Chains A and B, each alone.
Chain A
């Protein structure tokens, strides 16, 4: 490799997921004056995770709106703004607080385009910091993605790294459909180099992030890192895991998964959400339908247990970790 290739281009900087989102939002706001941010504490404070830090100062209170403390109100007024031609980007402060807004999201945001036969588009991004692992109190560690993925009319993505955070938020804002944008809150501080002049891949596409031959491991959001750690550990035991970052939860992009499973014959799906009727169930069904003759083992799921997210002293027991992924890999190999 030549010396100049090793040198980082000037447009590459090392960013956390949080900072990448912040820069992505800034760039989207610069690109389109119709982008309006709405949420609780997102203005002067910059959001409880500081994702919108500095944006109100630079874009003004009309574009970065500290709303009253009412999630249905935030989503419902965002619907009206979208009808008026704006592109609202809503921040739900924590995953567990999205439920007061659930009615608006499911009955209005998701259905408006179909209800109006396409006459009223709903270009809206609903940002939700999701998942556990931060030692929080109740309602701050939930994984509500399946509710949204089960709702026709919504698109749902989960980012796992700073590059996808930077580009993904801009692509979601540019998308003409409503996008539930899930941010892995415990990974907000994970860093990676981001080339801000690169050409990003499609938002609604999954991606093989580590090649392997024995078992295909699928994950999204915070569990991608866990899956990669498991793959590294497995390698020391002579097992080769292929890791796919699903990236998009609705629509699912499973072609790369099918390609992978046809080679490996084994598939493990990992998510934090409870396993029953979670994304893993849908993926298991689809992989089985499509790759039936290639499978050496049933598709296995690693997820949260079917209990309310527990108090934080128990969350390490609840959350899938490297060992639970490897345990599932062992079981898959045992068939």
Chain B
């Protein structure tokens, strides 16, 4: 049984037995009826229970999620602005996907490992990655400045879906080490069409690897809508591979947390993989280079604004007296400070040392590359002032 909301009858909000369209605006053709959607917090901020996903979450954690999501959204807005001002080459916005990413990211234990795409800034935040270490990638300083081993958070993978195999292989290693940790592979709806993603699910199933595939279905692969990727709801693909698939309201941070925790725990206990489809929406453009007005209607975006992940948690916190105005003001002030730090840290970021590109191609440098590096240095030194400006 799943608690769902009937947008045609507001009086039924909170009726746990009503199985109807889960979200307002779901009458849009790309949003089918979703009787299987796991939801613990309605778009209006009503707390629900789900028999399969009981959630034990403290008031502090609830406030923490609000803080996380607000700060990450502010980071995202600042990054978009910095790109517009020429300080970043590009930015891939996570706007609208904060709940999916923080819910999943906070479901991980320290000893677990996550394999992101290139949009998982919220997960990066949850893993304790300094936002500036993400900004450096989009500024063109490096390919991500954090230590993936220390953070349990792999570097961003830009080739769509390739990281799902890495996560699976890593999980096969975890399995051999028997340390009881689990692995979380992120992917998008478009990636489910990739052969490598399907191979990852075959391998994970065959070896019962402790990996969870966390798919943020944000409805679009750049411009191409979901129905071009799949004729069936994505979570149902899992059955074909022989492991469970779950669809969760990706804009409901509590449901995402509960579902991901359960899947990771099952993986730790040797029950093999789970596929989670976090049903969400990319509120912004694919990246700052994209123009979504060419392929989707403004009305659709407006509908999804009603399901905003942060607004619903704020409504719940306010209504249930778990947070007051002072709390929300504090978070806003903290977001301002974070944005200021990200801005100054980004614009002040030094360019990389030119010879750095030669230095980590190999663990053991080769003589030909060392020679090429020396040639490059000599060439640079031939300019007045010693460096080619």
Contacts and interface: CB of A to CB of B under 8 A. Distances in A.
Interface stretch (A116-124, A190-198, A323-331): A116-124
Contact of A76 (B142, B166, B361): B166
6 contacts: A73-B165, A113-B363, A121-B363, A175-B364, A177-B363, A204-B366
Interface string B180-204: 0000000000000001100110110
B202 A68 contact: yes
A80 B171 contact: yes
B144 A115 contact: yes
Contact of B173 (A70, A73, A85, A100): A85
Contacts of B166: 76-77, 79-80, 83, 108
B342 interface: no
A46 B356 CA distance: 43
Given A103-B196, A107-B159, A119 B203 contact: no
Contacts of A123: 363
B58 interface: no
B162 A73 contact: no
Interface in B357-383: 357, 359-364, 366-369
A245 B387 CA distance: 41
Main secondary structure of the interface of B (DSSP, over half): helix
Contact of A72 (B143, B177, B196, B357): B196
A92 to B, nearest CB: 15
Given A70-B203, A153-B361, A76 B169 contact: yes
B362 A113 contact: yes
Given A118-B360, A152-B361, A76 B147 contact: no
Instruction: Report the interface size class on chain B.
Output: 35 or more
Most chain B CB atoms below 10 A, which of A68, A76, A108: A76
Interface in B329-377: 356-357, 359-364, 366-369
A176 B155 contact: no
Given A68-B199, A73-B165, A80 B364 contact: no
A77 B169 contact: yes
B168 interface: yes
Contact of A77 (B203, B357, B360, B361): B203
Contacts of B202: 68, 70, 73
B167 interface: yes
B148 interface: yes
A103 B163 CA distance: 12
Contacts of A114: 143, 357, 360-361
Contacts of A72: 165, 195-196, 199
B367 A251 contact: yes
Nearest to B156: A115
Contacts of A313: none
A73 B356 CA distance: 32
A293 interface: no
A67 B169 contact: no
B177 A73 contact: no
Nearest to A68: B202
Interface string A239-279: 00000000000111100000000000000000000000000
Contacts of A77: 165-166, 168-169, 172, 200, 203
Given A68-B199, A78-B169, A103-B159, 19 more contacts: A70-B203, A72-B196, A77-B169, A79-B169, A80-B173, A81-B172, A83-B154, A83-B173, A84-B169, A104-B162, A114-B361, A117-B360, A118-B363, A119-B148, A153-B362, A175-B364, A176-B363, A204-B366, A251-B368
A335 to B, nearest CB: 28
